Amino acid sequence: MKNVLLSILFFIICNLSAQDIDSIFTGNIYFDSQIAFEKTFDDNKFQTVTQEEKSVFLAAVLSFAFPGAGEFYAKSYWKAGLFFALEIASIATGIIYDKKGDDQTIFFQNYADERWSVAKYAKWTYDNRLSDAQKLNYQNLFYDAQKTQVNWSVLNNMEREVEGYSHSLAPYGDQQYYEMIGKYSQFNPGWDDFDLSNTTYKYPDPVTQNFSYYSGLRGKANDYYGVAQTAVIVIVANHIISALDAAWTTSSYNKNLQISAEIDKIILANNRYYYPRINLRFNF
Domain boundaries, the chain: 1-42, 47-116+181-266+277-284, 131-176
What confidence score (pLDDT) does residue 18 get? 41
pLDDT tens digits along 144-191: 999 999 999 999 999 999 999 999 999 999 999 999 999 999 999 999
Question: What's the whole-number average pLDDT of the chain?
Answer: 83
Distances (CA, A) of 162 to 159, 224, 256: 5, 36, 75
User: Please, are residues 116 and 181 in contact by the beta-carbon 8 Å criterion?
Assistant: yes
pLDDT tens digits along 94-139: 999 999 999 999 999 999 999 999 999 999 999 999 999 999 999 9
Q: Coil, helix or strand for 115?
A: helix
Q: What is the C-alpha to C-alpha distance for residues 212 and 216, in angstroms, rounded to an integer?
A: 6
pTM metric for this prediction? 0.69
User: Please, are residues 16 and 269 in contact by the beta-carbon 8 Å criterion?
Assistant: yes
Angle between helices 152-161 and 118-128 (to 10 degrees): 40
Instruction: Classify burial at 119, counting beta carbons within 10 Å of its beta carbon; exposed 0-12, middle 13-18, buried 19 or more.
Output: middle
Give the residue from 274, 283, 281 showing the smallest Cα distance to 51: 281
For residue 27, give the amino acid letter: G
For residue 156, give the amino acid letter: N
What confidence score (pLDDT) does residue 11 get? 43
Cα pseudo-dihedral 27, 28, 30, 35, rounded to 10: -40
Distances (CA, A) of 232 to 97, 164, 242: 11, 40, 15
Sign of CA dihedral 232, 234, 239, 240: positive
Mean pLDDT, rounded, for 269-273? 58
What confidence score (pLDDT) does residue 270 get? 57
Q: What 8-state DSSP symbol labels residue 271?
A: E
